[in-house]
Each structure stands twice: as C-alpha cells, then as structure tokens.
Amino acid sequence: MLVLSRAVGELISIGDTITVRVLDVSGGNVRFGVEAPRHVNVHRCEVYERIQARRARERRE
C-alpha cells in the first residue's frame, strides 16, 4: 500500500489517465474528486461490493 500526504488542491496520479484531487479536509473527513476516462468505473467501495454481489447473483440464476 502506498501512503501519501497531500494538501487541499494537490493531485495524485494513477497511471496516465486518472487523477485524484484533494478538495477539502475537515476534522476526520477528506473530500476528493476523481477524474477518469468514461470507460473507467469509479465507485465507493460499498457500492462496488453491492454491484459485484448483484452480478454474482445474476450469474447463478
């Protein structure tokens, strides 16, 4: 795991096409924006897990 410290407004690059920008830090919360090509799906982990579970159910049916 790579652990980085960034200030508001700073970027993190993932590969050639994905950037993550720190938008706000308040208390224990961090808001960030993700810019990625349209063909790259970006989800919060809990949403991604629900999508994967639904796909698994659909494959079993």
Compute, in degrees rounded to 10, the torsion defined by CA atoms 38, 40, 46, 52: 110
Query: For residue 58, what is the enclosing H or E element?
Result: helix 45-60
**pTM, entire model:** 0.78
Domains of the chain, residue spans: 11-60
- The whole-number mean pLDDT for each consecutive block of 10 residues of the chain, a chain of 61 residues, reads 94 97 95 96 96 94 85
In angstroms, rounded to a whole number, what is the distance separating the alpha carbons of residues 58 and 8?
41
